[in-house]
Homo-oligomer: A and B are copies of this chain.
């Protein structure tokens, strides 16, 4: 599976605007963030490195997948000069739930996919799974958007954090970036 590393340090394309804890311990402050694929061996003076794989879809159903494929933009759009990296870890209680219970909380109760769809194509998104790698965060979500869509992005993040799904989030850090 394609592995990405997000390295917080003194190098990289992205300037860090802020790093804030939402729940649990934050990450050390750094001035820049580099996004590296598996093969990169660039020294970015990293204070910390988060890893995740862009794996298969864990909850998305066929009809949702079709809409997502039709509406979601690629990463790297020239106008999308804002980005966010939001690492989260969910509780043991979440991971011990059966698949249908997690799906129900994720979508039928919390409308995670449906809510995200409302912000397409403004907000591009990529998921990286770290749990099987033994990483401190289960999921790293990377977002890219244009400055004019920043208010919409704030709204999206706020809405998700008030859902039942977020009761299971025991650590969340919000890292905002610009290039």
Contact = CB atoms under 8 A, between A and B. Distances in A.
A1 B100 CA distance: 21
A98 B65 CA distance: 7
Given A56-B95, A96-B56, A99-B57, A134 B62 contact: no
Interface in A2-17: 3
Contacts of A114: none
Oligomer: number of copies: 2
Interface of A: 1, 3, 53, 55-62, 64-65, 95-101, 103, 129, 131-134
Contact of A98 (B57, B96, B98, B101): B57
B131 A62 contact: no
Given A56-B96, A95-B56, A132-B133, A62 B101 contact: yes
